[in-house]
Amino acid sequence: MSDDKEAQEDELLALASIYDEEEFHRAEAAQGGEVQVCVELPPDFRVVTKGDKQTEYNVCFLPPLVLNFEFPEDYPSTSSPQYTLGTKWMTRAQMSALCRRLDELWEENQGCVILFTWIQFLKEEAVDFLCISSPLEIHRAKYSSERKKSEPVSEKREDKSYEVKKQAASSASPHVAAFDPRAVALSDPRVELLPQLLDHDEAQRQRLFDGKVFCCGICFSEKMGAACLCFKECQHVYCNTCMSEYFQIQIKDGNVQCLNCPEPKCSSVATPLQVKHLVSEELFARYDRLLLQSTLDLMADVVYCPRMSCGTPVMVEPESTMGICTGCQYAFCTLCKMGYHGVSHCKLPTEELRDLRDEYLAASTEGKKFMELRFGKKVIQRAVEESFSRDWLNENCKNCPRCGTNIQKVDGCNKMTCTSCKQYFCWLCMGVLSRGNPYSHFNNPQSPCYNQLFFGVDPDEGDEFFSDDED
The residues, any chain, with a CB within 8 Å of residue 301's CB and separated by 6 or more, are 315, 316, 317, 318
Q: How many residues are there in the chain?
A: 471
CA angle 352, 357, 359 (to 5 degrees): 95
Contact 119, 18 (CB under 8 A): no
Which backbone phi and psi does 407 adopt, to 5 degrees? -120, 130
The DSSP code for 59 is -
Torsion sign across C-alpha atoms 271, 277, 281, 283: negative
Q: Which of 325, 413, 426, 449 is catalytic?
A: 413
Residue 387 near residue 353, CB atoms below 8 Å: yes
Closest CA to 425 of 399, 445, 443, 397: 399
Q: Which residues contact 468 (CB under 8 A, 6 or more apart)?
A: none
Task: Report how far residue 165's alpha carbon sits from residue 132's, in angstroms, rounded to the nearest whole number.
Answer: 9
Maximum CA pair distance of the chain? 141
Active site residue 266: no
Catalytic residues: 413
